[in-house]
Structure 1
């Protein structure tokens, strides 16, 4: 071996050693990446399972509160069957209705109390009545109640609204 080849061989050995080290690091990083991916998949699965359990628990909590209302209704129906009298049935149902509303209010459900004027954020106009007797877009009649769960509208109030009469050509009359 001549003097010129020695540094080349040393340099090749150093390069090979560096390459081997890089390959080793690459394999370690790939293995670490596989582990992280598996951990993340496990986390997603566990997180989904936990959300489902929280939902089940919330539903159970709510349903347990409704059981006494069901029991009261069964007693009321049984009383009517037994006595063949509806005398106390209405007042009993009214008490049960109030009890149910108390539970629903405690959980955040509230009936929307419509104002006189149509509000597209809280109302759904399902009927329009042409009239001069009321201001345009006044609510004439509540057709179905609407509800909010906390501050979110879960069912708009279905209403009948007043609109200005249209003339023969279809234009609004003033």
Structure 2
């Protein structure tokens, strides 16, 4: 009888430990999903800040606020991506325009129209790009 009770107690302790791990994992995942949702809502604002910066419209106090927003989203884990030239990857790039050139050997990202963003290795938005394909027959 004591051995059976000890076995039952050990089984219950193991079940409880597994339950606790599952709850902790679910809580962490729920937090990440909520953060990703909030960051998604900020992407259009970040795009506007990038455009304003490109046109020299971010100066003085506005630049300081833009820098704070960029730093806060980075601290939360948001990563901006998109480089030229780079090999086209349909997992992280969305090709909006295609060109051809004999200067490339493979399909290459030649212009970033809109940066992509990822959070915790999850793509929130692919980089929207212009790609250049190699010319055939030359």
Q: TM-score, normalised by structure 1?
A: 0.46
The equivalent of 1:3 in structure 2 is: none
Aligned to 1:138: 108
Name the residue aligned to 2:137.
Answer: 173
Q: Which runs of 5+ in 1 are unaligned?
A: 1-26, 67-89, 166-171
Q: Is structure 2 residue 13 aligned with structure 1 residue 43?
A: no
Q: Quote the residue 2:46 is aligned against.
A: none
1:107 Cα offset (Å): 3.1
Contact 1:127 1:160 in 2 (8 A): yes
TM-score after normalising by structure 2 = 0.55
Change over 3 Å in CA distance of 1:59–1:142 after alignment to 2: closer
Instruction: Mark the CA change 1:128 to 1:118 in structure 2 (over 3 Å): closer, same or farther.
Output: farther
Q: Please state which structure has a larger fraction of its residues in helix.
A: 1
Structure richer in strand, relative to its length: 2
Gaps of 5+ in 2: 40-57
Structure 1 vs Structure 2 CA RMSD: 3.9
Larger radius of gyration: 1
Residue-pair matches, total = 114
